Structure 1
Amino acid sequence: MRLSVLGAGAIGPAAAALAASRGHEAVLWSPSGRGTMGLDGRIAAEGALSGVFPLRVAQGLEEALASADAVLLAVPAYAFPALLPRIAQAMPAGLPLLIAPAASLAPLAFEALRAGLGPRAPVGALATTPLTARRLAPDRVRIPAIRAAVDVAAVPAAATPEIATLATALFGHACPAAPDVLQPALANANPIIHAALALTNATRIERGEAWPQYELMTEATCRLMSALEAERAALAAALGYVVPTLAEALHRASGVPQGRLAAMGAAIAASGRAVLGPAEMETRYVTEDVPYGLSFYLWLAAGRGVAMPRTAATVAVLEVLWGRDLRANPLLEALDAAGLPRLLREGIGR
């Protein structure tokens, strides 16, 4: 297939390399143009995927979408409010879009933008990205891990098998089918893991220190993760969903056996898959994973009788430490919380 990858940070080029390694043709587009500078027809990968793979650069969004069989949107969630309208206007009605990760019901926000088109291809929701990645140079990525499984759903919900088959064909991972796109929005472990690590390592981040993320999944930090996880699980249960545990998410990403979170962090570090935590305050661990993760949980919990005091406290403390509002989420403004079940099942204007 011809895959168009929208987003050229680390995940986009790495996902393009993974798709190319499986025989697909990959085209990469950078919304700002900066992410594709220095790319000259190929991308080199090392780590869990090793080799040099062909990668064509598209100069514009329309060029990226031309003749594509599928589209992967791989940008931080905070880019969605500005980028989704551009994609909605340019993308042909019959072209399926996969959003990874599908944070804060981004597929429904995209649906709302295309409600006037009538019949159209489904929108896919991936709970997280097909792999983890770091950009080492303009033409080189390091891929610490390729995920074994990623929860998947679609809008409309009946199209989930089609989207799961597409994602597996492109990236190779298993696709446990979710009832609808709200489950993948809740299933991503990053908001909990990253927020806890950012809070407990705020001074290291502020001072620009190099710190090993998995080695610093200490017992205390993991107690906070577990407390946030318990509240997320209660919210999911109240909404009728089951989400993977943090231990299962770490196992899917790294292959280390499930166990105590601190022990798993140490095992990941010892396996050679260790990565450094963020070293600047403008980190997606906070700017993405709190507004579009933890604060999204609080939005869902409001009015449903689900108490999330530790989640609310974590957001409040991070807001003080970072000196900014971490609750604003434009994706939710167009959505009716009371009407979610129908929207999740049927989509909007189909």
Structure 2
Amino acid sequence: MSATPSTFEPATATIAIVTYNRSGLLTRLLTSISEMEPKPGHVVVIDNASTDDTTDVVESLREALAPVAVVYRRMETNTGGSGGFSEGMRVAYELGSEWIWLMDDDVEVLPDGLAKMGKWAPRFKSIQGRRYDYDGSPFYWQYRVAEPLGIPIPFAPAGFDESGYKPMNSGCFEGMFIHRDIVRQIGLPDPRFFIYWDDQTYGWLASRVTQSVVVDDFVLRRTREIKQWDMGIRHLNASSNAYRYYIMRNRAYIKKYYRALGVYRPVPFALGTALTFGKELIRLVFVERTVRGTSNLFRGLSDGRKIAKDASWEPMPPLETATTFGR
């Protein structure tokens, strides 16, 4: 059984960032890390084959980030967020990091962000902090999954009780703070997703081996404005044709994980897929004011059926032979 640490050492943490052709946003994020107190031991930047000046930006900020050690990896091709976070997790794990903090390039870290996350580290090993949206409001995130349906529960109460945390069975790579013990047991994020559902699935896998929590501490701020439809109690963000395709295609990967772990129930899962399709239609009409793009939803479903029939498919393996440790 792995011992729960009594104290958190910031130097044992690594921030792993995935970026693609957004050097301006990456500059803001790296600058915010240089202003943090305390600072992590390492920053890993996974560059998904950017064609802008991302390499120069990272090199120019190495000195400002000192004493944080910067590890820069440029992928040969764009592997999507899924491939980038899988590689970032792998690099951080091989560096010996006890804690790995994942984030996209379109956020910045609040100055005391690592201290806030660290105060929960002695108690939990899969932690999600809160984020401010671009306009300064609390970012709305659905932290619970309806497991039979394989989709997020759409309405996530924002209030916290005196404990300061709530159980979750999902995850978001925009701020996931996870211990290497969990990574060792469940393996790396699955790069086959490319984008979408990858972090939800990874967070769900983590929640099966430890108590995962979202905590009432703001640690990140989004730095990119996204077109939204304000529904009053929540927002619905704009999307893209690529997202629409992967949203539907990757349902097949969730189904594969469910089957491998013995939780797949055909009828509820099919309902979850239908609800996902319907939500994407609503997003097209009310956020993007068009009906063009539905072909990508159908194409995703079609390619997903091919994945579902692949008898050679296997889940991501554990990184090492894991010892069982309690929830």
Q: For the superposition of Structure 1 and Structure 2, which TM-score range results when normalised by the shorter chain?
A: 0.3 to 0.5
